[in-house]
Amino acid sequence: MKGAIWTMRPDQLEDTANAAALRSRLGHVYWIGGGSGAGKSTIARRMAARHGLRLYATDDVMADHAGRSTPEECPFLSEFVAMDMDERWVNRSPEVMLETFHWFRGEGFGLIVDDLLRLPRDPGVVVEGFRLLPRLVKPLLAMPGHAVWLLPSPDFRRAAFGSRGSLWEIARKTSDPARALRNLLVRDQLFTERLHGEAQRVGLDVIEVGTTMTEDDLAERVMAAFGLRG
């Protein structure tokens, strides 16, 4: 990747002499991943404000990262960009959408790491977003307790999108908004289930987020997971 200062794949870290040094360089980072609509951004903002941390939102850099990537580095992203809205969200099954969505496959994750390595070590950083996949984050952790994944129930996710006014934002740009929305919601649920299983396999923490959980409750649980006072 052009200008990158971090070039190893996360699955190569365990076998490199520089792995411990890289983990040390990222020891000031707290990672909040999870499914769409789980409250990651809200909790990360609260945590950053409460504890004087820098906030790095991976959603905010998606366009920049897409522009810095090549088809060779990110083939699924290249295919996605070439599709029209119906090809993306109406004409394919949620299962195919899950398997071929570039960010779900970890494309561009190295650019997140590259950005984090360029930031000053002080203050610490809280990084959040659905692009943080457990299998990719785990090799970067000096402390396993510095990462957590928020997993929303289907009802919580739909309510969250509805409250933001973004429930139909993508779907209405297609020829069949109802079908597109169904596909998106099923795809996102499948992704959440995948995150749950992956986090469990690599031994990282998850918090299940349901409609009875308040924002204060969730913030308290996340900061407790990080060993921080709420």
Q: For the segment 141-169, what is each residue's pLDDT rounded down to a tens digit? A: 988 899 999 999 989 888 888 777 777 89
Write the single-letter amino acid at 32.
I
Q: How distant, in Å, are the alpha carbons of 20, 24, 157 from that of 78?
A: 33, 33, 28
Give long-range contacts, CB 8 A cutoff, 24+ apart: 213-216: 213/156, 215/39, 215/42, 215/43, 215/46
Closest listed residue to residue 137, CA positions, set 36, 30, 15: 30
Sign of CA dihedral 44, 46, 52, 55: positive
Closest listed residue to residue 131, CA positions, set 52, 65, 175: 65
Asked if 199 and 137 count as a contact pair (C-beta separation under 8 A), the reply is no
Look at residue 188 and give its three-state secondary structure.
helix
Asked if 25 and 113 count as a contact pair (C-beta separation under 8 A), the reply is no
Write the single-letter amino acid at 174.
T
State the pTM of this model: 0.90
Asked if 127 and 41 count as a contact pair (C-beta separation under 8 A), the reply is no
Question: Which of 58-62, 127-131, 194-198, 209-213 comes out lowest in average pLDDT?
Answer: 209-213
Reported confidence tier of residue 17, pLDDT bands at 50, 70, 90: low
Question: Which of 7-16, 58-67, 180-189, 199-208 comes out lowest in average pLDDT?
Answer: 7-16
pLDDT at position 3 is 40
DSSP state of 53: P
Is 99 exposed, middle or buried (CB count within 10 Å of its CB: 0-12, 13-18, 19+)? middle
Q: List CB contacts of 87: < 8 A, sequence separation 6 or more.
A: none
Residue 133 in this model has a pLDDT that exceeds 80: yes
Q: For the segment 54-94, what is each residue's pLDDT rounded down to a tens digit? A: 999 999 999 999 999 999 999 999 999 999 999 999 999 99
Alpha carbons 186 and 191: distance in angstroms, whole number:
9
Asked if 149 and 205 count as a contact pair (C-beta separation under 8 A), the reply is yes
